[in-house]
Amino acid sequence: MPDIRHTPEAPTRATTLAAGARIDAHRHDDHQLVYAGAGVLAVTTDAGTWFAPGTRALWVPAGCVHAHRAYGRLDLHLIGVPAATDPLGLGAPAVLAVSPLLRELILACTRDPYDETAERQRLHTVLLDRLRAAAAAGAAGQPVPLPAPADPRLAAVCDVLYADPADQRTLAVLGRAAGAGERTLSRLFRRETGMTFPQWRTQVRLYHALRLLADDVPVTTVAHRCGWSSASAFIDVYRRAYGTTPGSHRRS
């Protein structure tokens, strides 16, 4: 990511971004919690890209270069945490589940970033406690970053599904156009993404679904555009990934 800005302190604030708006690559000396109160947030680091709805937040460690993009009208909430505090002890970006209590704490702490009252400090202390609990719960079932593959054969296959996640062709068929066999591509998927091909394809479909939901596309339409055979199959996968239904996401 070129032209990286260095902002010594990670700001604590709330802001609104229009659909498609971007915050270019930058880094902070502080840790930062990034949360979308409305819309869908895409956060890109060297490890890949995460898409986060309102039930998830992203922890960005101090010094990590990252960029943001808004899908749908985005209510962006940013909370800076001094590097010396390091409440989570995480050296890499991580997705955290956002409970209703944690969501309200994030909104309260970003409502007035200049509030230094004792009440605000107590809220911030509880917020850090809830973040520790979310991190301790582990990453099981959490969305993973979507890495950019380095191998050109794998990249060619991924580009096809980025463009059309509803493409139902098997890895063997997709590989013929890319000049690689199914076994080779399966190995590359595991090595470069940490996922099997079916897992990676599901992740791509979920990320495309989030973007469509942010634009208020109906759930059934989203399911078919992203390759699910039915709305119920899509809802089941979405619920297991994000802890809520796609209909709830659209209403929020």
Summarised one tens digit per residue, pLDDT across range 199-208 is 999 999 998 9
Task: Give the count of domains, the chain.
Answer: 2
Phi, psi torsion values for 145, nearest 5 degrees = -65, 155
Q: Are residues 128 and 160 in the same domain?
A: no
- Residue 141 within a domain: no
Q: Are residues 109 and 181 in the same domain?
A: no
- Residue 19 within a domain: yes
Task: Look at residue 251 and tell me whether its pLDDT is greater than 60.
Answer: no
Under a CB-based contact definition with an 8 Å cutoff, are residues 50 and 92 in contact? no
Summarised one tens digit per residue, pLDDT across range 121-172 is 888 889 888 888 887 765 444 556 777 788 999 999 999 999 999 999 999 9
Q: For residue 161, give the CATH number of its domain.
A: 1.10.10.60
Task: Look at residue 173 and tell me whether its pLDDT is greater than 90.
Answer: yes
Query: What is the Cα 107 distance to its own chain's centre?
Result: 19
Domain that holds residue 45: 5-136
pTM of the model: 0.76
Q: State how far the Cα of 159 lies from the Cα of 46, in Å rounded to an integer.
A: 18
Q: Average pLDDT over the chain, rounded to whole?
A: 85
The residues that bridge with 7 in the sheet, in sequence order, are 28
Q: For residue 59, give the CATH number of its domain.
A: 2.60.120.280
